[in-house]
Structure 1
Amino acid sequence: MPSYEDDLSKFEEYDTQVLGISVDSIPSHEAWQKSIGGITYPLVSDFYPHGAIAEKFGVLRKEAGAPAYGAAERALFIIDKEGVVQFIDVHPIGEQPDNEELYEVLRKL
Structure 2
Amino acid sequence: MPSYEDDLSKFEEYDTQVLGISVDSIPSHEAWQKSIGGISYPLCSDFYPHGEVANKFGVLREDPNAPAYGATERALFIIDKQGVVRFIDVHPIGEQPDNEELFEILRKL
- What TM-score results when the alignment is normalised by the length of structure 1? 0.99
Secondary structure of the structure 2 residue equivalent to 1:94 = coil
**Equivalent in the alignment of 2:22:** 22
Return the alpha-carbon distance in structure 1 between the equivalents of residues 103 and 61 of structure 2.
28
Identity over the aligned pairs, expressed in percent?
87
Return the alpha-carbon distance in structure 1 between the equivalents of residues 94 and 45 of structure 2.
20
**Equivalent in the alignment of 2:10:** 10
- Deviation string, structure 1 residues 55-87 (Cα, Å, up to 9, x no partner): 000000000111000000000000000000000
Provide the alpha-carbon RMSD of the alignment: 0.3
Secondary structure of the structure 2 residue equivalent to 1:9 = helix
Structure 1: gaps (5+ residues): none
**Equivalent in the alignment of 2:89:** 89
Return the alpha-carbon distance in structure 1 between the equivalents of residues 99 and 80 of structure 2.
17
4+ residue stretches of structure 1 with deviation over 4 A?
none
- The size of the alignment, in residue pairs, is 109
In structure 1, what residue type is equivalent to 2:97? P
